[in-house]
């Protein structure tokens, strides 16, 4: 993809840049682990080789068979799925094909809902909605229950995780983190066993709290350095954007990517105790070609929370049911901070930006690492002492029930 090829804004094609980037600009971006490319799914729904769009089946869930969950964030998209009497449950076709799908009897007894026309995104089980019952709707995302393995983990979406994401979205909205907010969701199954209830999350498609002109193009950050599936010889978008901006490569990447991304991560940690997973898929880069302004936004609120940090801040001690360090997460805070900052953001994302800048713009990798280290030291303050001296990452072993272990990599942090 080339910048000149991006579709006009303020039209029916406003989000084509985003959808194209999600699906086709990820070449070479998933080499950070032996499991990162694994997708257990049907080719028709695959983001790269699948159909342009496909339809999700949906079901009307009423009464005691399910529950609508909310965090109080107002959004016009909620009306498509919740009417006060029940909710519309979208289900991925590959989920329906799982032999051991829980509560299949409730689905079979439910009234069928309208088809929901979607495009897959890079992580397969999150989809971009185009239309419901063949009627175009304002763009938004659905994160779906997907009891199959993608990358390292099986992607079930059960009530505790949905409650976690809604809780975190409200917290990030409170501190005005630029984000695609999760605003509601529904779960199927009897109330007695929350761990067995599964469902979906409704996510907005327009970033909140991002100061950009209306209609700015935005795309997942991995698309800045990934190759184009259909035009692999095109220069990466990062190189094109640097040329378009008229700035030096070092200034562009430092001021438009490193400063806002590292700053957003530290600000969220200090103000909420939430540990953002700012890798290339969970972060969005927004750019307005006319004004040459840019911004970074976050998405996907399935992250870790530190009660210790929230206590220091003086925040209420009410927590979601999952991903709370010291409760259901047994690993100590320093190791989790390293996993998320050093590996997810540093190794899985910023290192790819640095390699792209070195190969296509001639910028030495060490220059960006030094810039990131300076930003981190200037912003982190006393919390810097909590981080370990060496990086921690997942053990290479796959464990049952999505269990995970952290091991010392014996590597010094390169990005802090």
Q: At what angle do helices 259-272 and 159-174 cross, to 10 degrees?
A: 110
pLDDT computed for residue 7 by the predictor: 40
Greater pLDDT, 8 or 256: 256
Q: Is 281 exposed, middle or buried (0-12, 13-18, 19+ CB in 10 A)?
A: buried
Q: Torsion angle of alpha carbons 106, 109, 111, 112, nearest 10°?
A: 80
Q: Which H or E run contains 270?
A: helix 259-272
Residue 8 confidence (pLDDT) above 80: no
pLDDT computed for residue 10 by the predictor: 39
Gap between the Cα atoms of 189 and 209, Å rounded: 35
Once rounded to an integer, what is the mean pLDDT over residues 34-38? Answer: 64
Indicate the DSSP class of residue 12: T
> How are beta strands 274-275 and 304-305 bridged, if at all?
antiparallel
Q: At what angle do helices 351-361 and 365-380 cross, to 10 degrees?
A: 140
Once rounded to an integer, what is the mean pLDDT over residues 137-163? Answer: 88
For the ranges 83-92, 106-115, 287-296, 341-350, which has the lowest average pLDDT? 287-296
**Token pair for 135:** 């009627």
> How are beta strands 135-144 and 126-132 bridged, if at all?
antiparallel
Q: With pLDDT > 70 as the criterion, what percentage of the chain qualifies?
A: 93
Residue 69 confidence (pLDDT) above 80: yes
Q: How far is CA 202 from the centre of its chain?
A: 13
Q: Which H or E run contains 70?
A: none
Residue 188 confidence (pLDDT) above 70: yes
Residue 37 confidence (pLDDT) above 80: no
Greater pLDDT, 393 or 39: 393
| 133-145 pLDDT tens trace | 999 999 999 999 9
pLDDT-based confidence at 153, cuts 50/70/90?
A: low
* Residue-wise DSSP of 14-53: TTHHHHHHHHHS-BT---SSTTTT-B-S-GGG-TTTS-S-
Once rounded to an integer, what is the mean pLDDT over residues 145-169? Answer: 88
pLDDT computed for residue 401 by the predictor: 66
> How are beta strands 198-204 and 135-144 bridged, if at all?
antiparallel
Where are the strands (E) in 145-243, listed by range? Answer: 146-150, 153-155, 182-188, 198-204, 217-220
Choose from 154-163, 193-202, 248-257 the range with maximum mean pLDDT. Answer: 248-257
pLDDT computed for residue 398 by the predictor: 65
pLDDT computed for residue 36 by the predictor: 61
For the ranges 83-87, 297-301, 310-314, which has the lowest average pLDDT? 83-87
Once rounded to an integer, what is the mean pLDDT over residues 307-322? Answer: 93
Secondary structure of residue 168 in the 3-state scheme: helix
pLDDT computed for residue 48 by the predictor: 87
Query: CB atoms < 10 A from the CB of 17, how many?
Result: 21
For the ranges 43-57, 110-124, 144-158, 201-215, which has the lowest average pLDDT? 144-158
Instruction: List helix spans (H) across 290-364.
Output: 307-313, 333-337, 351-361
**β-bridge mates for residue 10, sequence order:** none
Q: Which H or E run contains 238?
A: helix 237-245
Contact assessment for residue 252 and residue 241, using Cβ atoms and an 8 Å cutoff: yes
pLDDT computed for residue 155 by the predictor: 77
pLDDT computed for residue 280 by the predictor: 95
Q: How far is CA 276 from the centre of its chain?
A: 10
Contact assessment for residue 217 and residue 287, using Cβ atoms and an 8 Å cutoff: yes
Once rounded to an integer, what is the mean pLDDT over residues 127-131? Answer: 96
| 379-389 pLDDT tens trace | 999 999 999 99
Share the mean pLDDT of the chain.
91
Gap between the Cα atoms of 125 and 116, Å rounded: 14
Please, what are the domains in the chain? 32-204 (no CATH), 217-408 (1.10.510.40)
Task: For tokens 């080789």, name the residue.
Answer: 49
Once rounded to an integer, what is the mean pLDDT over residues 252-277? Answer: 98
pLDDT-based confidence at 154, cuts 50/70/90?
A: confident
Residue 225 confidence (pLDDT) above 60: yes
Once rounded to an integer, what is the mean pLDDT over residues 252-270? Answer: 98
Closest CA to 323 of 297, 299, 302, 350: 302
Long-range contacts, 92-96 (Cβ 8 Å, 24+): 92/45, 92/56, 92/125, 92/127, 92/144, 92/145, 92/146, 93/42, 93/45, 93/54, 93/56, 93/57, 94/41, 94/42, 94/45, 94/146, 94/148, 95/144, 95/145, 95/146, 95/147, 95/148, 96/57
Gap between the Cα atoms of 266 and 276, Å rounded: 9
Gap between the Cα atoms of 161 and 157, Å rounded: 6
pLDDT computed for residue 124 by the predictor: 86
Q: Which H or E run contains 282?
A: none
């Amino acid at each position: 993809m080339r910048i000149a090829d991006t579709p006009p804004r303020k039209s029916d094609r406003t989000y084509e840049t985003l959808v194209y980037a999600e699906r086709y600009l990820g070449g070479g971006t998933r080499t950070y682990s032996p499991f990162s490319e694994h997708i257990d799914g049907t080719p028709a729904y695959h983001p790269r080789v699948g159909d342009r769009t496909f339809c999700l089946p949906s079901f009307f869930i009423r009464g005691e068979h399910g529950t609508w969950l909310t965090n109080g964030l107002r959004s016009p998209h909620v009306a498509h799925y919740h009417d006060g009497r029940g909710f519309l449950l979208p289900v991925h076709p590959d989920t329906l094909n799982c032999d051991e799908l829980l509560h299949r009897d409730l689905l079979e007894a439910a009234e069928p809902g309208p088809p929901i026309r979607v495009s897959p995104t890079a992580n397969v089980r999150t989809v971009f909605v185009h239309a419901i019952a063949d009627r175009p709707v304002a763009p938004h995302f659905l994160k779906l229950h997907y009891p199959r393995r993608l990358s390292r983990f099986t992607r079930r979406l059960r009530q505790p995780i949905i409650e976690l994401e809604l809780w975190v979205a409200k917290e990030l909205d409170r501190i005005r983190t630029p984000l695609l907010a999760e605003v509601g969701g529904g779960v199927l199954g009897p109330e007695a066993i929350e761990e067995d209830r599964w469902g979906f999350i409704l996510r907005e498609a327009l970033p909140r709290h991002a100061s950009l002109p209306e209609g700015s193009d935005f795309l997942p950050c991995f698309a800045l350095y990934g190759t184009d599936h259909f035009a692999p010889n095109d220069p990466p978008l990062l190189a094109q954007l640097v040329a378009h901006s008229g700035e030096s490569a070092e200034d562009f990447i430092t001021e438009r990517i490193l400063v806002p991304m590292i700053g957003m991560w530290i600000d969220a940690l200090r103000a909420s105790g939430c540990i953002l997973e700012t890798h290339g898929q969970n972060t969005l880069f927004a750019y307005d070609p006319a004004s040459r302004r840019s911004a970074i936004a976050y998405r996907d609120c399935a992250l870790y929370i530190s009660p210790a940090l929230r206590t220091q801040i003086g925040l209420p001690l009410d927590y979601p049911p999952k991903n709370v360090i010291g409760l259901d997460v047994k690993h100590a805070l320093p190791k989790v901070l390293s996993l998320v900052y050093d590996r997810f953001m540093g190794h899985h994302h910023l290192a790819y930006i640095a390699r792209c800048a070195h190969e296509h713009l001639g910028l030495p990798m060490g220059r960006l690492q030094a810039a990131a280290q300076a930003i981190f030291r200037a912003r982190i303050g006393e919390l810097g002492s909590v981080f370990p001296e060496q990086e921690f990452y997942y053990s290479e072993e796959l464990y049952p029930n999505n269990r995970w272990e952290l091991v010392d990599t014996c590597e010094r942090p390169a990005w802090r």
